[in-house]
Amino acid sequence: MRAALLDWYDAEGRTLPWRVRPEDRARGVSADPYAVWLSEIMLQQTTVPHATPYWRAFLERWPSVHDLAAAPRDDVLAAWAGLGYYARARNLHTCAQVVSIELGGAFPDTLDELRKLPGVGDYTANAIRAVAFGKPASVVDGNVERVISRLTALETPLPKAKPQIKAVAAELADPARPGDYAQALMDLGATVCAPKSPDCAACPWSVWCRARAEGTQTRYPLKEKKKPKPVRCGACFHVMKDGALWLRRRPETGLLGAMMELPGTGWSEALDLSEMDQVQPFPAEWRHAGQVRHVFTHFELELDVYCAEAPAGWTPPQGVMVPVRDLGKAGLPSVMMKAAKLGLERGLI
């Protein structure tokens, strides 16, 4: 099985910009741990096609971990906007400073030391160890979970099945080419053992796959029924003055920490209109532009957008006025960019 998987990987594995393929390694090319670490942080909650342009932009702007460590955090947060899960961006910057200042710019290659880095958990540590250093690691992402679940026709649903899947993946790991094995298994799930339409004819493990033998490939992996996400409500104020939009920075900690936002109410189970009256920036006939919806990990947000032109002589009590033409550079998280665009499109109707 190991040989079949690695033969397939040598011929069919993905070519990713941060990955060193076996043929490249044979020519003496080695992976850049900084580039690999950057890719793995971006890929924690993001797909390869979505993350790759950000990865290229980061490397062009900050070619080394020392460059990223020295960058203003606000610049890093702004460059991250659109990737979501913004605690990753804060941890990314902190981690770069730790590696640059405390470790002299060298990423560690042991799991214990990698796990100590800010923003690096067990999965990411294993992925960096495998991809950057080609060392033994147990890399189990969603793609690997699907492959192993089908291979063994695993009846334990996720997430309870995670320890079993990790044990099977570790047992199958190739001691001679551990890094390639880990990447091959991820690629197999990403390109062949797809969620809805697995290409079993192209799979190097098809002859050993219990689910294929039983014709039940798409039944796996089993998953526990998800609870409906709660809905939270809030309002934000779209304040324009001389072609600029008022933005402020969110608190350092918590959801969207330190990101820019349109000022507004808190987010709760129901929109408290009295709270909105208390926090509105100035008395005005606020126009309701509409509502934006955004799905976070643990809840859905319904955010009402209210618009007004700032009165003469008004200055923002906090934050900054950002020209509309520069909103794309302001580092707005996705939900706030949706609100800003809605206000610009419909606020004057």
Catalytic residues: 40
**60 vs 52, 68, 129, CA distance in Å?**
12, 11, 24
Tokens (6 digits) for 129: 């160890």
CA distance 242 to 60: 34
CA distance 348 to 36: 46
Question: CA-CA-CA-CA torsion for 129, 130, 132, 133, nearest 10 degrees?
Answer: 80
Question: CA-CA-CA-CA torsion for 61, 64, 66, 68, nearest 10 degrees?
Answer: 40
CA distance 55 to 113: 24
Tokens (6 digits) for 204: 């190097």
Contacts 24+ apart (CB under 8 A), 93-97: 93/68, 93/69, 94/118, 94/119, 95/37, 95/41, 95/119, 95/120, 96/65, 96/68, 96/69, 97/69
**Please, what is the end-to-end C-alpha distance for the chain in angstroms?**
64
Only one residue has tokens 């090319």, namely: 29
Q: Are 77 and 331 in contact (CB under 8 A)?
A: yes
CA distance 195 to 190: 9
DSSP result, 172-231 = H--SSSHHHHHHHHHHHHHHTS-SSS--GGG-TTGGG-HHHHHT-GGG-S-BPPPPPPPE
